[in-house]
Amino acid sequence: MNKTMKFNELGLSQRLLKVIDEKGFEEATPIQTQMIPLLLEKNADVIAKAQTGTGKTAAFGIPLMDKIKFDTKAPKVLVLTPTRELSIQVSEELNSLRPEKSMRIMPIYGGSSMDRQLKAIRNGLNMVVGTPGRVMDHMRRNKKLFDEIEYLVLDEADEMLSMGFIEDIEFVIANSNPEKNILLMSATMPREIVDLSRRFLKDAEKIDIKSKQMTTELTRQIYFEVKNADKLEAMCRIIDIEKDFYAIIFCRTKKDTDELSNQLVNRGYDAEALHGDISQVQRERIFNKFKNKNINILVATDVAARGIDVSGLTHVINYSIPQDPESYVHRIGRTGRAGLEGTAITFVTPQEYKKLHFITQKTKTAIVKGKVPQVDDIIGTKLDHILNTIDVSVGNYKEDIYYETAKSLQEKYDPTEVLATVLKLNYNEELDPKQYKQISEIVLNKSGKSRLFIAKGKKDNFDTNQLVKYIVKESGIKASKIKDVQVLDKFSFITVDFKEAEIIIHAFKNKKIGRRKIIEIAK
């Protein structure tokens, strides 16, 4: 069942609803819709099957923060994650959901200072998010460390098992509070997960969120690297360089949609905001204006835009990067319909590149880097439009007041000077480059690795050297950047940095074997 509900329908307290509203969430995802009321109503073990990126952290974090009394220094919740990166990510998400800033949540993982972690534990932690190995290290030093935990969360359980953490998980379960409840969160349910649940979970409640296809057939998906302060300027440049701009712009919160809509209107654009606080009557009025193209820009939140089906959109703009891959697919699926080409643009700030990379991995989509339109190009485009309008209109005003006035002006002044004056009087502001502000150049943090799948192998007469040469020739990257090459009979794998992965995928975007791309992000 993939039903969704509003957060205020799930039984949460006002203190948590206030946090949720401040984050801009309006409607719970399917996993949140099922898990939040379940955890609020009863103390139970839970097995939850749902894809990565569907809001699982909030699904367990929100109700546990609402129901548990964090009245001692000892941790009440322990979350196990397979990797250091995920520990940090989950900890950051939980910290952003805290109803009180005094609540203490911290990631613990190998490679970070053990002394600093021990000090934090002694000072008191309410929730611990950690990798199995480092959690075991702490448990061996302090056997009573997790004697008071009420919930043990096994996050990405299938990943932990595939990485060989089964014995570590068993150790943590055996050496922590025997009265705890266990929440087992997993994207898949292999036999090992089922066996684990039978051994350690008691009469577990089951939640199964059906997977959705995370792909899109959009022709053009690009991202722009911009600072948060430059987003509005970049947005205006995109609008101005397009001849017939007709788009939905997505923001994360209701406040953001109102602010952006007002900023665009103040700059002379036909825009309206659509979000959860708008009445049904207003919603219908705004939607009809947009559908009839009385306005050409709709600024909306994800929830408010659900159910909107408008043909002919030229763009979908992610002014705020989506919170998960599913939201990305839902958003951009609104353009490129009925055989028409559409463009999806995502603004990415320096802190968000890893989130973008995560979306590309899960959607198996190449989102290529674009360049914000330059001022000279925009002025040139506007001038072309003016000249085309004049071309179409010449000859329509013979023998009327305009024609007679033009004749008398030509007798008195040079015709070119007259025309230049008329153009300046009418288009001076529109063609003035000073109306555009400078956009800062930024460099995104593209550290991290990506595993790529290549639909060629030994049957294609490739060995390691030949495969590397083939990729280097087509993409232009250095051979030294390609690591962990694995050539199998029908396909191969390589590992490269995020930056090189982006270049390779772009270089091979039009190369296919049948319907399958030759290179794509590995599952």
The two structure tokens encoding residue 469: 């040469």
- Rounded CA separation 332/248 (Å): 9
Q: Give me the phi and psi of 100, to 5 degrees please.
A: -130, 135
Our count of domains for the chain comes to 4
| Separation in Å, CA 409 to CA 400, 404, 413 | 14, 9, 6
The two structure tokens encoding residue 373: 């339109």
Is 394 found in the same domain as 346?
Answer: no
Residue 69 lies in a domain: yes
Q: What is the pLDDT of residues 382-410, one digit of tens each?
A: 888 888 877 767 766 666 787 788 888 88
Is 459 found in the same domain as 412?
Answer: no
Residue 142 lies in a domain: yes
Q: What is the predicted pLDDT for the residue at 307?
A: 60
Q: What is the pLDDT of residues 260-270, one digit of tens each?
A: 999 999 999 99
Residue 36 lies in a domain: yes
Q: What is the predicted pLDDT for the residue at 215?
A: 53
Within 338-482, where are the H helices? 353-363, 375-393, 401-412, 415-427, 464-475
Is 346 found in the same domain as 494?
Answer: no
Residue 442 lies in a domain: no
Is 412 found in the same domain as 334?
Answer: no
Three-state helix/strand/coil letters over 281-330 = HHHHHHHHHHHCCCCCEEEECHHHHCCCCCCCCCEEEECCCCCCHHHHHH
Q: What is the pLDDT of residues 18-61, one digit of tens each?
A: 998 887 777 888 899 999 999 999 999 999 998 766 788 999 99
- Rounded CA separation 149/152 (Å): 7
Check which CATH number belongs to the domain holding 77 and give it: 3.40.50.300
Single out the residue in 153, 180, 208 at which a domain terminates: 208
Residue 391 lies in a domain: yes
Residue type, 233: E
Q: Give me the phi and psi of 289, to 5 degrees please.
A: -60, -40
Is 473 found in the same domain as 331?
Answer: no
| Separation in Å, CA 265 to CA 230, 258, 279, 320 | 17, 11, 21, 19
Residue 289 lies in a domain: yes
Is 186 found in the same domain as 82?
Answer: yes
Is 421 found in the same domain as 280?
Answer: no
Q: What is the predicted pLDDT for the residue at 320?
A: 93
Residue 354 lies in a domain: yes
Single out the residue in 328, 343, 372 at which a domain terminates: 372
Q: What is the predicted pLDDT for the residue at 341?
A: 75
Is 262 found in the same domain as 124?
Answer: no
Is 350 found in the same domain as 261?
Answer: yes
Single out the residue in 321, 352, 372 at which a domain terminates: 372
Check which CATH number belongs to the domain holding 496 and give it: 3.30.70.330
Q: What is the predicted pLDDT for the residue at 94?
A: 94
Is 458 found in the same domain as 486?
Answer: yes
Is 192 found in the same domain as 80?
Answer: yes
Residue 478 lies in a domain: yes
Q: What is the predicted pLDDT for the residue at 340?
A: 64
Within 394-431, where are the H helices? 401-412, 415-427
What range does the domain containing 475 cover?
449-521
| Separation in Å, CA 485 to CA 12, 476, 492, 508 | 50, 17, 7, 18
Q: What's the sign of the alpha-carbon dihedral 148, 154, 160, 165?
A: positive
Is 316 found in the same domain as 426?
Answer: no
Q: Which residues of the chain have pLDDT under 50?
A: none
